[in-house]
Every structure is written in structure tokens, then in C-alpha cells.
Amino acid sequence: MSTLYCGHPLAYVRDQRGWTGMKFPTLMNHQARSMGISMAHNRGTTWKWEHGTTPDDDGQRVLAALLGLQDSDWSVRDWPNWLPVGESGVLDAPWSATGTVELLTTLSRTGHMDRRRFVTITGAALTALAAGWADAPGAFAAASTGDRVTATMVDNLEKRVQALRELDSEMGGGRLLADARQDFTLISSVIANGRYTEEIGIRLHQLAAQVSYMVGWMSYDTGLFSAGQSYYKGALYSAKAAGDDQFGAFVLAEMGVVAGDAGRWHDRLHMTATALNGAPKRVAPQVESYLMLGHAAALRGVGDHESAAKAFSKAERLLDRSVNDDDLPDYLGWFGQAQLESSRGKHLMAVGRHDEATVALEKSVNEAAPRDAAVRSARLAEARLMGRNLDGALEAAHEGLALLEGAVSSGRAVNRLQEFSSQLGHYAAEPAVVEFRERLAAVPVEAA
């Protein structure tokens, strides 16, 4: 069983293919000649590429061709983020009871390993994962030996998971990630080693799916994209084992969020489409609304604003229909009008309607839980800046910083505020901007 790799992505790619020593330069030069490109690649070139030097376009084009990729696979993403790493080993578990237990067990040992803000499941591997979920039979039968697992034990595990979920919206993933990993390891161990009835097994896999998702979400919130994806995969497998395709569709949509943040909007579009098509015929309207909202975001990301607007309107109608909160699953307890207004604001910003975007984002921030308010404050700041309201933009950004200096720990929120800060170049000499940037630089390390 392979583990996740923590070196430079190019070193990982070479190691997986046996391209060591002079073999890799020889292959590169041969590939270049076949493409009519002049190149003299050597071991020194490889070393530079793996230690901070970015290859020129010809170098990346030749490497992409050598890896069997298209120009579109590398030209839309920065080096080295387009390299196909992390698509083997632990990610190749079969869709079965044995495969699910194997995946959960491996994740409990290695899932925490990560390169910050590096997405490892992309393109064909992400598509294959979505297809595997859609095609796999549900509710795998499980037979285990060991201590007997009682309903009371599962009740207590469910309470632990619910407590983590409630704390997350208040504090953010950074301060809770270690606790969530411990719960994941505990539940995975019970599944792998316990002795239980089929009914208890289904409940255990539902729990494993939820806590694996939570670890994935907290990892993503902290900026650990690669680890987050791996845990999301664990959630997909356990949801399938429990026969819970509604939750599986939700996890696919969440994986799409990570892909979109990495600039892979076509990947996100594929994930949301698969989620919508693979969800049960009857799902809670809030769940369908959330899936459709993610699809709208993906359509906006690929530039199809007309289809995005239609999908957003459908998501809005679905949420309006959800009059019974009892239908809302625990894992979507945070979803409601505030999230809808946040998405509305992003859609309006994308088409240049910053005044309307500001109104929507203000509603979203005011109605959000602390961690979400910290994240969304940066988007509100950007919208106000688009409207040339520097004072208002900085006010929103400072509100986000105040949350990060207090109880909230969220790498996502810090990253959003850093993106906003990068847009202030025209105002760099303004004392208020200098003050904001100094305050941002002093954000506690655990929040970033």
C-alpha cells in the first residue's frame, strides 16, 4: 500500500515512473526532439525545477506531453500544481466492504500527510472517483471479528460527532482538526475490528462517512487541500457502504468546492453534475438546493453565466420550498439563506454588479456563524473595493481579522483576506491600508 508523498511533485512523478538519474533527462530530450522543440535537459535542470525554478513554457509543454497530458492540463494552472500526483496507492481501493475498511485504515495512518494548498486528485482521477461512486452497489455487507459493538456505543459515538460539528461552525477547523482525526481513527478501528450486526454496521459506516467528511472539511478549512481530498474519498466509500447516496452526493459536491478553489472549474462542474445525477430521486429540498447551488458556482467558473443564473434560481426556489427544518440533515445544518446570499454575492461580483453584490454579502456576513463570517468578510471587502469604497472594504476586512484574532481558526479566512490585500496595491501608501496589512501579518499561525 502506497502512502502520500511529501516531496516536490515532480520528484514524486519521477519516482512513481522510475525516471531517476539520467533517464528522465534522456526522455525529456527525446520527447522535445519529437515535438520539434530545441532542448538540452540535464540532471541540473531537474534539480532546479524541483528546488524553486519554474520551467519555461516549452519545458512544461514537453513534460506534459511526456506524461500523456494535453496543453489544457498545464496551461491553466501554475507550476507545479498541474502535475498528476497522488493518484495511486491509497486512492485505488475497490468499492467493496474490504476496500472500504482498507481505505479507512490507511487514512487513519497517513491521511494527515499533506502539502499545504496542493490538490492531488484531479482530472481523470477525480472523474474516475465520481464514476466509481455512481456505479458502485450500496450497503456493502460487512463481517468482522472482535469485541461486540452495541447500539449504546454507537449512540455515544454519534454524540461525539455531533459535538464536533457544532463546534466547527463557531471555531473553525484549525483548532478541532486533531480531535476530529482521533474520532475518525476510533470509528475506523471499530469498523475494522469490531463484531456487530448489519444494522449496527450501517450506522457505523454512516458515522465513518460523516466524521471522514468532517476531517476532510477541517483539513480544507485549514488549507490542507490534499489531505482534505483523501478524507473526502473515505467519506464517499463509507457513505456507499451505508447505502446513503444522499450524503455521497453531498460529499461529491464538497470535493468540487476544493477543485474550484484550485482553479479546476471543469473538474468541479463534473463533480456537481455527477452528484445531481447520482443523488436519490427523493432528497430533502435543502440538499437538492445545495447541490444545485454548487452546480451554479461551477457553471460560473467555466464562464457560462447564463446557465449559472438559471441554476442559481432553481437552487433559490428549492430552498424556498423547504418549509420543514426537520428534513434538513445534521451535516447541512449550516445551510440556509445566509449561504444563498453569499453565493448570490459571488455571482453578482462575477458579472460586475458590485453594488447588488455588496447588499447580498452584507446579509450573508450578518447572518453567518463566526467561522463563515470570517471567511465571507473578505468577499464583502472585495465587493466594496470594486465600488471604490476603500473605508467600507477595510471595515469588513478588519471585522474578519477580529474573528481570527479571537476564537476562530481558519486558513481559508486568512487566505481570502490575503487575496483581498493583494488587490490594494493602488492604495498601498494609505495609512489605513498599511495598518490593515500589519494586522493581517500578525494573525496567529494556527489560523493560517
**Domain limits, the chain:** 9-75, 89-243, 337-447
Closest CA to 342 of 321, 307, 371: 371
pLDDT digits (tens, 9 = 90+) for 178-225: 888 888 888 888 888 888 888 999 999 999 999 999 999 888 887 777
10 Å CB burial of residue 303 (0-12, 13-18, 19+) is exposed
What tens digit of pLDDT does each residue of 229-242 get? 889 999 999 999 99
pLDDT of 229: 85
Write down the pLDDT at residue 180.
84
Q: Has residue 10 got a pLDDT over 80?
A: yes
Q: What is the pLDDT of residue 364?
A: 92
pTM score = 0.71
The gap from C-alpha 223 to its chain's centroid, in whole angstroms, comes to 9
pLDDT digit string, tens, across residues 320-369: 887 666 667 888 888 888 889 999 999 899 888 989 999 999 999 998 88
- Stretch 115-128: mean pLDDT: 62
pLDDT above 90 (res 290)? yes
Q: What is the pLDDT, as a whole number, of residue 167?
A: 81
| Rounded-to-integer distance, Cα 210 and Cα 203, Å | 11
Amino acid 309 reads A
Which pLDDT tens digit goes with each residue over 133-148?
A: 777 666 554 444 457 8
Q: Which pLDDT value is given to residue 119?
A: 63
For range 114-124, the mean pLDDT: 59
Other beta carbons within 10 Å of 26:
13
Provide the pLDDT for residue 168.
Answer: 78
Q: What is the pLDDT of residue 26?
A: 93
**Rounded percentage of the chain residues whose pLDDT exceeds 70:** 85
Quick one: what percent of the chain has pLDDT higher than 90? 41
Cα 373 from Cα 438, distance rounded (Å): 21
Cell 460529499: give the residue. Answer: 251
pLDDT reported for residue 407: 78
Please give the pLDDT value at position 1: 27
pLDDT over threshold 90, residue 252:
yes
Mean pLDDT of 57-81: 82
Asked whether 241 and 200 are in contact (CB, 8 A), the reply is: no
Considering just the CA atoms, what is the radius of gyration of the chain in Å? Answer: 23
Q: How far apart are CA 422 and CA 417, in angstroms?
A: 9
**DSSP per-residue codes, 379-398:** HHHHHHHHTT-HHHHHHHHH
The C-alpha cell at 201 is 454496521
Q: With contact defined as beta carbons under 8 Å apart, do 403 and 376 qualify? A: no
What is the residue-averaged pLDDT of the chain?
83
List, for residues 18-38, the tens digit of each pLDDT value.
787 789 999 999 999 999 999
User: What pLDDT band is residue 85 in, cutting at 50, 70 and 90?
Assistant: low
Q: 126 pLDDT band (50/70/90 cuts)?
A: low
Does position 267 have pLDDT exceeding 60, yes or no?
Answer: yes
34-48: buried (b, 16+ CB within 10 Å) or exposed (e) per residue?
Answer: eeeeebebeeebbee
Please give the pLDDT value at position 175: 72
Among 159, 149, 121, residue whose Cα is nearest residue 252: 121
* Neighbour-count burial of 373, counting CB atoms closer than 10 A to its CB (0-12 exposed, 13-18 middle, 19+ buried): buried
Residue 168 backbone zone (phi > 0: left; psi -120 to 50: alpha; other: beta): alpha
Nearest by Cα to 192 from 182, 181, 205: 205
> Which of the residue ranges 184-193, 253-262, 378-387 has the most confident prediction, judged by mean pLDDT?
378-387
The predicted pLDDT at position 90 comes to 44
Query: What distance in Å separates the CA atoms of residue 308 and residue 346, rounded to the nearest whole number?
Result: 11
User: For position 314, what pLDDT does the model report?
Assistant: 94
For residues 382 and 182, the answer to whether their CB atoms sit within 8 Å is: no
Residues in Cβ contact with 272 at an 8 Å cutoff, skipping those fewer than 6 apart = 252, 253, 256, 291, 294, 295, 297, 298
CA-to-CA separations, 200 to 196, 204, 294, in angstroms, rounded: 6, 6, 33
pLDDT score, position 78: 74
Best CATH choice for the domain 337-447 from the list 3.40.50.2300, 1.25.40.10, 3.50.30.30, 3.40.50.300: 1.25.40.10
